[in-house]
Amino acid sequence: MSKYANPHLFMKYSKPLLPWVGGLCTIMLVVGFVWSFYLVPPDYQQGGSVRIMFVHVPAAWLSQFVYASIAAASLVSLIWRHALADVFAKSAAPLGAAFTLLMLVTGSIWGKPMWGTWWEWDARLTSALILFFLYLGYIALWHTIENQQVAARNAAILALVGFINIPIIRFSVDWWNTLHQPASVIRSDGPSIDSVFLAPLLFMLVTYTIFFALMVVIRMRTEIMRRRLSSARYASAAFEESVA
Amino acid sequence: MRTLSICIAIVRRDVLLGWRSGAGVATAIGLYGLIVVLVPFGLGPDGDLLSNVAPGILWIALSLALLLTLDRLFQIDLEDGSLDLLFHSPAELELIVLAKSLAHWLIALVPLLLVTPVLSLFLNMSIDRTLATMTSLTLGSPTLVFIGAIGAALSVAIKRGGIIIGLLVLPLYVPVIIFGVGAAQAGTNVFFAGAEGPQASLLFLSALSLFSVVLGPIAGAAALRSVRS
């Protein structure tokens, strides 16, 4: 386990991978957008608006996947003091927040023609909004605690507390929503989706996930370099002091 | 036995300190009252409207007023060094956090509960609605304090950490506010089961409070340990 915790090995092996994954991700993004924006026929009910789904649903998937992966990394970091787990959690959080924001914004743009309103206190929308605030609190904690080791441990604790609370929040919001608003706009069973839409949707899901992996590795590399730079500065300052 | 007497000593000390300094509690009561009094200026003096939204207003105002006091929970002990002594205590840190949170509930939250009937008059609440709201606030208030203790412990390493506690803690208050306001809106007959009665909401509130009494001390102690190192 600890063999792979080595940031040096991570830097060594991730570097040659980056151009390949980056190239693959670019090609898949272009194919995915052309497919979902030009080749998919308009829906018989929703018309062209259905295409927002291909941006929206993968973002929704990643917003939850990223939070779960941060919680898993936090557990690893708390138990094994795995140095890369902290770096991953810190690097992934702004990406997860960005996906959550993308989901909220595209959902809102879709909701305006479909429901006639920018915002609906639907259970799923509400939980997504709270998830966004959980991300903000998590990122804020990383940035306000100066000592990086204390920040890593505290952020990990917060991520796990948030992860434990997410099902409770989901449940309570469902409860609140059924109490206040019997006829929900989004049906939980949902209309079955045609394969014309399903294939590009799955393709976009994979593309987004690769995009996230690419971005998080780039951010992790930046974070490791930043830490090396800062310890090098401390070392050189200490050296100058000892010479003087 | 020894652990228990240590915890009792901590509760007594914190309650006495809070009671004798008094400033923090008085500020929280003042803020609680002011938020409630500001609502009619925002919504208009319509009595029916105010009495309709009153349980929600009281729940939110109480949460915000409590939030103001949370940074005192560990910050003062850190500054005067008594937190270091608590670390060396033979009692488990989790139980110490539990005792400190309990003391905070007694000294910061109970006064807010006690002024609630007075504030309910400003919101045109009937005695029934006031009683229902008081019941739900009392049952849910441990959640506010113990989840809040997590935020207080996480931000203790930050200078002027008080501002960030809200960002950490308020999203986690969503369930307790939902069930708290739900129970208060459903009336006083706590034996009335079903979706229209308060029983289910009150049971969920109690469950949340019990859960937070476990989660708060564990997470809070873990956060304090990381600051110590």
The answer to whether the Cβ–Cβ distance between A161 and B175 falls below 8 Å is no
Tally of helices (H runs) and strands (E runs) in chain B:
11, 0
Cα separations in angstroms, B99 against A128, A176, A228, A236: 35, 33, 42, 46
> What's the pLDDT score for residue A66?
96
Tokens of A30: 């272009």
Per-position DSSP letters for B115-152, written without gaps between them: HHHHHHHHTT--HHHHHHHHHHHHHHHHHHHHHHHHHH
Report the mean per-residue pLDDT for chain A.
86
Q: What is the mean pLDDT of residues A108-131?
A: 85
> What's the pLDDT score for residue A185?
46
> What's the pLDDT score for residue A1?
47
Strand locations in chain A, DSSP E? none
Q: With CA atoms as reference, report the closest residue to B93 among B205, B177, B10, B196.
A: B10
ipTM of the shown complex: 0.89
The answer to whether the Cβ–Cβ distance between A147 and B157 falls below 8 Å is yes
Residue A114 CB coordination number (10 Å) = 18
Closest residue in B to A161 (Cα–Cα):
B219
Cβ contacts (< 8 Å) between A157 and chain B: which residues? 150, 154, 219, 222-223, 226
> Quick check: is A217 in a domain?
yes
The answer to whether the Cβ–Cβ distance between A141 and B229 falls below 8 Å is no
Q: What does the domain layout of chain B look like in residue ranges?
A: 2-228
Per-position DSSP letters for B61-97, written without gaps between them: HHHHHHHHHHTHHHHHHHHHTHHHHHHTSSS-HHHHH
> What's the pLDDT score for residue A242?
83
Would you place residue A216 in the very low, low, confident or very high pLDDT band (cuts 50, 70, 90)? very high
- Residue A238 vs residue A66, higher pLDDT: A66
Q: How many residues are given for chain A?
A: 244
Cβ contacts (< 8 Å) between B215 and chain A: which residues? 161, 164
Position B10 pLDDT exceeds 60: yes
Position A190 pLDDT exceeds 60: no
Residue A62, CB half-sphere, CA atoms under 13 Å: how many? 32
Residue B135 C-alpha, separation from nearest chain A C-alpha, in angstroms: 19
- Residue A13 vs residue B210, higher pLDDT: B210
Report the mean per-residue pLDDT for chain B.
89
Mutate to test the interface with A, among B150, B169, B172 (most CBs of A within 10 A): B172
> What's the pLDDT score for residue A31?
92
> Quick check: is A190 in a domain?
no
Q: Model confidence over B112-127: pLDDT tens digits? A: 999 999 999 999 899 9
Position B7 pLDDT exceeds 70: yes
Domain count, chain A: 1
Position A183 pLDDT exceeds 50: no
B49 and chain A: CB distance < 8 Å anywhere?
no
The answer to whether the Cβ–Cβ distance between B167 and A137 falls below 8 Å is yes
- Residue A171 vs residue A186, higher pLDDT: A171
> What's the pLDDT score for residue A130?
94
Q: What is the mean pLDDT of residues B159-168?
A: 83
Q: What span, in angstroms and rounded, lies between the C-alpha atoms of A162 and A165?
A: 5
The answer to whether the Cβ–Cβ distance between A154 and B204 falls below 8 Å is no
B54 touches B61 (CB < 8 A) = no
Mutate to test the interface with A, among B174, B196, B199, B229 (most CBs of A within 10 A): B174
Report CA torsion sign: B129, B134, B139, B141. Answer: positive
Position A172 pLDDT exceeds 50: yes
Position A5 pLDDT exceeds 90: no
| DSSP-assigned beta bridge partners for residue A43 | A47
Mutate to test the interface with A, among B146, B159, B178, B224 (most CBs of A within 10 A): B178
Tokens of A71: 């919680």
Nearest CB to A169 within list B161, B174, B211: B174
> What's the pLDDT score for residue A40?
79
Range(s) of the domain holding residue A65? 50-183+197-243
